[in-house]
Structure 1
Amino acid sequence: MDVIARLRAWALARPRVLLVDPPAKVMLRWSVEAELDRRGWRSAASPADADLLVVLGEPGPELAAAVDVLWSQIPEPRHRLDLHHERALAVDLDAGLDALVRRSAGVVSGADRPSPASLLGTGADADDEDADGEGMDHEGMDHEGMDHEGMDHEGMDHEGMDHEGMDHEGMDHEGMDHEGMDHEGMDHEGMDHEGMDHEGMDHEGMDHEGMHMHHSGEVAGLPMASTASDRDGLELDVLKVALGPVLPGWPTGLVLRADLQGDVLTSAELAWLDADLLPAARPHPDPQQAALDRLARFLDVAGWSTAARDARRARDGLAADGSDQREAQRQAEAVARRVHRSRTLSWTAGGIGQAPSERSSGAGVLDRVRRWCDAASGRPVEDPPAASLDDIAALVEGVEIGSARLIVASLDLSPVPVVPASEHAHA
């Protein structure tokens, strides 16, 4: 193995993983997370940060389409790994890593990969008339005071340019200084700007009156910001944004669409992908393990990755026997105590996620997380009532994106109603 190959293998030894876990694959996700923690592979914060895309089970049609968009956004080298069962999990991950390293050794042009815009059907691949200046209105554009010093005329097409009255006889353009040259009255109609190098061109003093610019709509398939009055009456940019359906610590399949006005979310709407195709959710038989799992996902969103890893290890260790289970219980109590007493978390999550009807009782993100800490320690805790999508939309109204992520992560959400354990046993 040569030096380049060794460096390539070293750089990809611990790839970033973007995990797609449909709601019905909880136990498979736990096994994958345990193996990733054992290897020291960290989760990717976004598709741009990912090396491996790991898809659990068979996503529904809507989620599968979203996964295709995510896949198109992951830069090379990349590899997609579909896992359907826990058997040979380590072997599958090793094979995925080997494929990633092999792909990094090849020359990838990217010509065969579809663009995200084409998958979304936004029509961004259509010809952009504004790209070459065609259709640009120069009428009323005043070049007086425009500094052409450093302007490269090589490749500039003067055909159709009206030079009437301008004497070029004996005029040497090489090294010609245009500084102070008056273009007033010069007709640019029919002038082709293709190939014109504007580097070094000074636009100071240039009058753009009459030039039409578009500040809304779509450019390259991406929505541009418009403006609207905020709650204080100020005109702020408004951009359509969406969170989900795949984010670290985010309920897979949940999509939040809202207007981002300034730095806060407004007019939020939430929906589940493939909700009609999913089986009814069942509560986990061990509420302590379930609480540790919820706590770990919240801590990942809050940026406390070491505590999240400890919570996952305690969650997995509780399924063992003997001394391993006792050690997991001690670890669960330790991480719950550390999170419950954290001043940083109290400062970060305190005061957000409170419904108007709950503000008097102080029920918010921090209270829900501390309830999970109690359950993670093994103490009996009463489950709060399930939150509807309309309730969540009201909670994220007027908050920042980071706060909205924490609010959603503090809720135990499911796309279908949870069947009580007694009813499931009876069935």
Structure 2
Amino acid sequence: MGLSGRLARWAGPRPLLVATPYGTRPRLHAEAEIARRRWHPAAAPAAASLLVVCGLATGELATAVAEVWESMPDPRTRTDLPPDAGPTEVSHALDEVAARLAGGGMGVSGGGAMAGYGGDHGGGMEMPGGIGMAGRGEDRDGLRLEVLHVPLGPVLADWPGGLVVDATVQGDVVQEAAVRVVGADLGADEPFWDEPWHKAQSGERVPRGAAERRGAAERLDGMGRLLAVAGWPAAARAARTLRDRMLMDRPAAGLAAEFARFERRVRGSRALRWMLRGIDAGQDDVLGYALRSLDVVGAALDRMDDDTPLPANRPDPGSTHDRLPALLAGAELAAARLIVAALDPRTEAAGGHG
């Protein structure tokens, strides 16, 4: 084993998670298990030693995953978690790849810069490499700058599964954006977050409180992504820990106390307010979306003990895909990442949006 292999073994695995449209269940279990093991997630392929594909990667998404894999340095290893993977299966899979990595990984030589991926940009966002210059144009200050065609996604840390933003970028400003979803053509299950309503539709008696838990956990999942993109990993971990405990049916009283501490921390952060305020996300700015999510979770906690039957039809949460292109046009790249995280678009069965 060379020096890089010995250093990687000492440092422990650096996982890069790949979200897929129908991979929410294994992603949640993988994030929880990685946090329990205190592994440090990688923000980009160049820093990763372990690729964790959560769910089925098909078509263009599979191609993107292969390109990311080829760009990772040795030693490296990979695991693919099926859409229905439970916590035990995820734990065993991570045990296996950790042991493999400790033995030197797969020993596959890494490729060079990949088309459409690579490089590093602020805020943990991976900037595409190998992108041809499309031409020059005047920026907002009248300067002549390169106009680049930049695909954001589908493989980025803290990014919705399968989402691709085809952006025209000048300097660090998005001039135009088209949004589509890849890898959503083979849904193995109903959307994870809608599970209580689908059970109710099948005739199963589901208490309203269970649906409140699922909805609050979905909001906290989005909060974790937003806080991670904003560069506050400790708060992101706290959001995800709360999310996981809600999904484990912990008593509402204990969750309420824990959430109150988290809420005070987030609402009281001047740095977060400064970063998120004024970034247009449609109905509100990004800060407003974050604060509204806190309101929704707080209200859900008050209803988690409701044992009355859940109606079969869930209110339509609405699609945010169609709003993204107009919101991203004119935004700086770092702000674009925050807008996507704030809107937290669902990507199940959304292939072809643009």
Mark the CA change 1:6 to 1:82 in structure 2 (over 3 Å): closer, same or farther.
Answer: closer
Match of 1:386 in 2: 318
8 Å contact from structure 1 (residues 350, 365) kept in 2: yes
Mark the CA change 1:354 to 1:321 in structure 2 (over 3 Å): closer, same or farther.
Answer: closer
- Residues 169-227 of structure 1: per-residue CA shift (max 9 Å, x gap): xxxxxxxxxxxxxxxxxxxxxxxxxxxxxxxxxxxxxxxxxxxxxxxxxxx95413631
Match of 1:283 in 2: 194
Mark the CA change 1:322 to 1:316 in structure 2 (over 3 Å): closer, same or farther.
Answer: closer
- Residues 341-372 of structure 1: per-residue CA shift (max 9 Å, x gap): 321111001001243xx4xxxx1211111111
Match of 1:236 in 2: 145
Match of 1:301 in 2: 229
Q: 1:391 offset after TM fit, Å?
A: 1.5
**Percent of aligned positions that are identical:** 37
Counterpart of 2:257, as a letter, is: R
Counterpart of 1:92, as a letter, is: A
Mark the CA change 1:66 to 1:329 in structure 2 (over 3 Å): closer, same or farther.
Answer: same
Are 2:16 and 1:89 aligned? no
- Report SS of the residue matched to 2:345: coil
In structure 2, distance between residues paired with 1:343 and 1:116:
38
Mark the CA change 1:103 to 1:224 in structure 2 (over 3 Å): closer, same or farther.
Answer: farther
- Correspondence list, 1:32-51, <5 A: 32-51=30-49
- Residues 55-92 of structure 1: per-residue CA shift (max 9 Å, x gap): 12322222111100110111111111122222333222
In structure 2, distance between residues paired with 1:20 and 1:314:
22
Mark the CA change 1:25 to 1:327 in structure 2 (over 3 Å): closer, same or farther.
Answer: same
8 Å contact from structure 2 (residues 149, 166) kept in 1: yes
Match of 2:262 in 1: 335
In structure 2, distance between residues paired with 1:96 and 1:330:
37
- Report SS of the residue matched to 2:164: strand
Counterpart of 1:370, as a letter, is: L
Counterpart of 1:408, as a letter, is: V
Match of 1:75 in 2: 73
Compare the two structures and name the one with the higher helix fraction: 2
Match of 1:368 in 2: 289
Are 2:330 and 1:409 aligned? no
In structure 2, distance between residues paired with 1:56 and 1:109:
22
> Which structure's relative contact order is higher, taking Cα pairs within 8 Å and 6+ residues apart?
2
Q: 1:416 offset after TM fit, Å?
A: 4.4
8 Å contact from structure 1 (residues 299, 305) kept in 2: yes
Mark the CA change 1:58 to 1:34 in structure 2 (over 3 Å): closer, same or farther.
Answer: same
8 Å contact from structure 2 (residues 328, 336) kept in 1: yes
Counterpart of 1:283, as a letter, is: D
Instruction: Give the gaps of 5 or more residues in structure 2.
Output: 117-128, 196-210, 304-314
Name the count of aligned residue pairs: 304
Q: 1:295 offset after TM fit, Å?
A: 0.9
Are 2:346 and 1:395 aligned? no
Q: 1:114 offset after TM fit, Å?
A: 5.3
Q: CA RMSD in A?
A: 3.1
In structure 2, distance between residues paired with 1:252 and 1:62:
12
Mark the CA change 1:322 to 1:74 in structure 2 (over 3 Å): closer, same or farther.
Answer: closer
Mark the CA change 1:344 to 1:267 in structure 2 (over 3 Å): closer, same or farther.
Answer: same
Q: Which deviates further from its counterpart, 94-103 or 269-278?
A: 269-278
Compute the TM-score of the two structures, normalised by the length of structure 1: 0.64
Q: Which has the larger radius of gyration?
A: 1
Q: 1:299 offset after TM fit, Å?
A: 0.8
Mark the CA change 1:58 to 1:274 in structure 2 (over 3 Å): closer, same or farther.
Answer: closer
Residue 182 (structure 2) aligned to one of 267, 273, 281: 273
In structure 1, distance between residues paired with 2:181 and 2:89:
31
Mark the CA change 1:277 to 1:93 in structure 2 (over 3 Å): closer, same or farther.
Answer: closer
8 Å contact from structure 1 (residues 339, 373) kept in 2: no
- Residues 290-327 of structure 1: per-residue CA shift (max 9 Å, x gap): 1111111111111111111111111122244566x543
Mark the CA change 1:368 to 1:322 in structure 2 (over 3 Å): closer, same or farther.
Answer: closer
Instruction: Give the gaps of 5 or more residues in structure 1.
Output: 121-219, 419-427
Counterpart of 1:254, as a letter, is: L
Compute the TM-score of the two structures, normalised by the length of structure 2: 0.76
Counterpart of 1:102, as a letter, is: G
8 Å contact from structure 2 (residues 22, 184) kept in 1: no
